[in-house]
Amino acid sequence: MGTGMQRLSAQRSGPMRLGLLIVLALLVTGCTSAPPGITPVQNFDLEAYLGTWYEIARLDHSFERGLSDVRADYALRPDGAIAVRNSGYGAEGWEVAEGRALPVGDPTVGHLKVSFFGPFYGAYVIFALDQDAGWALVSGPNRDFLWLLARSPELPPGERREALALAEAAGFEVAALIFPRHERSRERAP
């Protein structure tokens, strides 16, 4: 585990909106706890979770506003941490933020902390996971943060309904979800 600042990058030479706003969101929320009443998945297999996840739905936040083709790539680092690479396509092209994640406590529980800048971490709580169907529901430190992720850019309607019903039952504002387009999702952001 390094103590140096984590790398934050954007592929555009202009504003690093995605990365900087993620950092600001982490600084504001700065909490790695699960929201009250949200239980992370048990018997979590981190190695099976690694790889690419596509954003099917999210609650709106400034750090992702206007982005389509959002995806996250997770890989194990030599130091045991998880390399995180988030990318999305916006008005200025591809935006990329790179960070790292670590388990919060027991690594067999789907509760991670993610950092895109130095020692500042935010919660990443996997509270529903269907590895066979290829989808996950992820929360931040409160119910203002919700992502429905899938292993492919499209999730079959039945799976999507099941996931959204679980999110609604957990107290998330499902009616406010944004469903980003995926026209470039199979491309890898530079």
Q: 101-122, pLDDT tens digit by residue?
A: 999 999 999 999 999 887 889 9
- Residue 7 covered by a domain: no
- Residue 189 covered by a domain: no
Beta strands of the chain (E only): which ranges? Answer: 51-58, 68-76, 82-90, 93-103, 111-117, 120-130, 135-139, 146-150
Domain that holds residue 36: 17-176
- Residue 184 covered by a domain: no
Q: Spell out the residues 6+ positions from residue 153 whose beta carbon is closer than 8 angstroms to its own.
A: 54, 69, 182, 185, 186
- Residue 37 covered by a domain: yes
State residue 17's pLDDT score: 52
The count of structural domains within the chain is 1
Q: What is the pLDDT of residues 122-148, one digit of tens each?
A: 999 999 999 899 999 999 999 999 999
**Residue 32: which CATH number?**
2.40.128.20
Name the pairing type of β-strands 82-90 and 68-76.
antiparallel
What is the C-alpha separation between 112 and 100, in angstroms, rounded?
10
Question: Do the Cβ atoms of 106 and 42 come closer than 8 Å?
Answer: no
